[in-house]
């Protein structure tokens, strides 16, 4: 009997990951390995938190010179990258420490590349266009959801282009990630909810992604190489963690165990999307976010019920397993029934954290459906991951159902 050969497994990850309450204590040692003048990238809110001041003091006590850029903005505008590069090019900065949410982490990763190689961030829009390693980056997330602490992708909002653009390169991979759940205790409830919705969407999308033929040539030119056995491990772990922690962290934001579980789930999600990639919900949310100025996490969460229904006909087995992982599938029922139970539980988790589950609530207008579909179809790096082929017409139908809160089951 011939043994069945598993599909190709592919994984990208930082060189070091430290996880757990209080693990920020390792930062001085990690930074001393790579730099003598560290630029700390954060935002105004985090810069005023006592834990941040203590962190900077501990790094300085190691004999490291510290500069702080505390002007990172949500949705990472290109202007933030220009400001960092203009201010610190030629300053002797030789490593970066990113402390904050996804925009802070993404800013540090792309700034490290431009500081090392010159030019404008626009030179690196796309895949595999960063010519070599940037300055070393250590990431410290203060939210549980984006996964940016372990990914080699940054998303930049280019106002002149009117759209978000990805910079995707293995050279953006952080040197190390330090994931300390204590740093999320000061995270506002609305941000906690939005980032949790983002993590849940990452896990569902990557677990149901397209499976690709990962030839050496394909791997050399594409960051996102599809669902595979290694990313599935992270998806299963993350979904199981969020199934209980999402409800707990909303009920008691000071619950460090719930914070830890949610943050570990977000890390799992980051590890999965770093190789498999996100799909339709993320492609469609970007133009919606530009029009409505609503949060990324709530945007992808609001789309997820309708994207799941669109993809269900070609991913019954995966959604059925999600139903089992989330403890709602009757083992004796048909796969389609288990799959529907899994989708319903995902929606329940989104509603638990207060995520809108329709597009009308986001402020999207029907007259914008065609424009959103046009823009979404341009995000080929993401649409190529969706398990069911997307067209302009199918995106418009997803939007229509989402606007109407139409959760009937979609069939081919």
Compute and round to an integer the Cα radius of gyration of the chain. Answer: 21
**Can you read off the two tokens belonging to residue 126?**
């796309």
Distance between CA 11 and CA 135 in Å, rounded?
Answer: 22
pTM: predicted TM-score of the whole model, two decimal places: 0.94
pLDDT for res 163:
81
pLDDT for res 1:
39
**Can you read off the two tokens belonging to residue 412?**
């081919």
pLDDT for res 10:
83
pLDDT for res 8:
75
**Averaged pLDDT, 31-48:** 96
Does 411 score more than 90 pLDDT? no
Quickly count: other Cβ atoms within 10 Å of residue 278's Cβ.
Answer: 27
Across 37-75, b (16+ Cβ under 10 Å) vs e yields: ebbbbbbebbbebebbeebbeebeeeebebeebbbbeeb
Does 113 score more than 60 pLDDT? yes
Do the domains 16-184 and 189-404 sit in the same CATH topology, yes or no? no
**Domain 189-404 carries which CATH code?**
1.20.1090.10
pLDDT for res 412:
60
pLDDT band, very low/low/confident/very high, at 410 (cuts 50, 70, 90): confident
pLDDT band, very low/low/confident/very high, at 277 (cuts 50, 70, 90): very high
Give alpha helix (H) positions in 25-122: 27-34, 44-47, 50-61, 78-88, 102-117
Q: Let me know: does 285 contact 312? Beta carbons within 8 Å.
A: no
pLDDT band, very low/low/confident/very high, at 198 (cuts 50, 70, 90): very high
Quick one: CA torsion of 303, 308, 314, 315, rounded to 10 degrees?
130
Distance between CA 131 and CA 148 in Å, rounded?
Answer: 21
Does 11 score more than 50 pLDDT? yes
pLDDT for res 3:
43
Torsion sign across C-alpha atoms 24, 28, 34, 40: positive
What is the widest separation between alpha-carbon atoms in the chain? 66
Does 322 score more than 60 pLDDT? yes
What does the chain come to in residues? 412
Per the model's pLDDT, the better-predicted residue between 191 and 312 turns out to be 312
pLDDT for res 2:
42
pLDDT for res 210:
94
Distance between CA 267 and CA 270 in Å, rounded?
Answer: 5
**Can you read off the two tokens belonging to residue 144?**
């549980």
**Averaged pLDDT, 347-375:** 96
Q: Please report, for the chain, the start and end positions of each structural domain, with discontinuous segments joined by +.
A: 16-184, 189-404
Distance between CA 352 and CA 350 in Å, rounded?
Answer: 5
Q: How do strand 176-179 and strand 137-141 relate by DSSP bridges?
A: parallel
Per the model's pLDDT, the better-predicted residue between 199 and 3 turns out to be 199
Q: Which one is the CATH code of 16-184: 3.40.50.1000, 3.40.50.300, 3.40.50.1970, 3.20.20.70?
A: 3.40.50.1970
């Amino acid at each position: 009997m011939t043994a069945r050969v598993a599909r190709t497994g592919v994984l990208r990850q930082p060189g070091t990951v430290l996880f757990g309450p209080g693990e920020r204590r390792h930062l001085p040692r990690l930074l001393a390995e790579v730099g003598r003048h560290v630029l700390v990238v954060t935002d105004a809110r985090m810069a005023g938190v006592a834990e941040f001041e203590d962190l900077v003091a501990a790094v300085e006590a190691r004999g490291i010179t510290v500069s702080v850029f505390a002007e990172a903005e949500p949705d990472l505008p290109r202007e933030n990258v220009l400001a960092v590069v203009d201010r610190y090019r030629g300053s002797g900065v030789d490593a970066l420490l990113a402390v904050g949410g996804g925009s802070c982490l993404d800013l540090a990763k792309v700034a490290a590349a431009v500081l090392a190689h010159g030019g404008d961030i626009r030179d690196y829009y796309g895949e595999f266009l960063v010519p070599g390693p940037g300055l070393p980056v250590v990431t410290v997330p203060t939210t549980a959801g984006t996964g940016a602490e372990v990914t080699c992708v940054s998303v930049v909002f280019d106002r002149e282009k009117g759209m978000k653009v990805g910079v995707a390169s293995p050279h953006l991979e952080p040197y190390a990630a330090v994931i300390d759940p204590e740093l999320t205790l000061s995270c506002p409830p609305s941000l906690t909810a939005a980032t949790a919705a983002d993590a849940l969407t990452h896990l569902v999308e990557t677990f149901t992604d397209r499976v690709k033929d990962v030839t050496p040539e394909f791997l050399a030119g594409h960051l996102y190489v599809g669902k595979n056995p290694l990313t599935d491990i992270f998806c299963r772990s993350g979904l199981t963690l969020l199934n209980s922690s999402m409800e707990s962290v909303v009920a008691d934001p000071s619950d460090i165990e719930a914070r830890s579980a949610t943050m570990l789930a977000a890390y799992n999600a980051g590890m999965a999307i770093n190789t498999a990639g996100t799909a339709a919900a993320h492609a469609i949310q970007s133009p919606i976010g530009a029009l409505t100025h609503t949060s990324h996490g709530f945007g992808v969460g609001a789309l997820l019920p309708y994207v799941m229904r669109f993809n269900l006909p070609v991913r019954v087995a995966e959604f059925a397993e999600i139903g089992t992982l989330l403890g709602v599938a009757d083992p004796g029922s048909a796969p389609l029934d288990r799959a529907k139970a899994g989708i319903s539980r995902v929606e329940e988790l989104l509603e638990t954290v207060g995520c809108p589950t329709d597009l009308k609530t986001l402020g999207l207008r029907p007259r914008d459906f065609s424009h959103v579909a046009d823009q979404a179809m341009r995000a080929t790096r993401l649409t190529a991951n969706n398990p069911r082929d997307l067209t302009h017409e199918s995106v418009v139908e997803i939007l229509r159902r989402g606007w109407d809160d139409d959760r009937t089951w979609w069939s081919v």
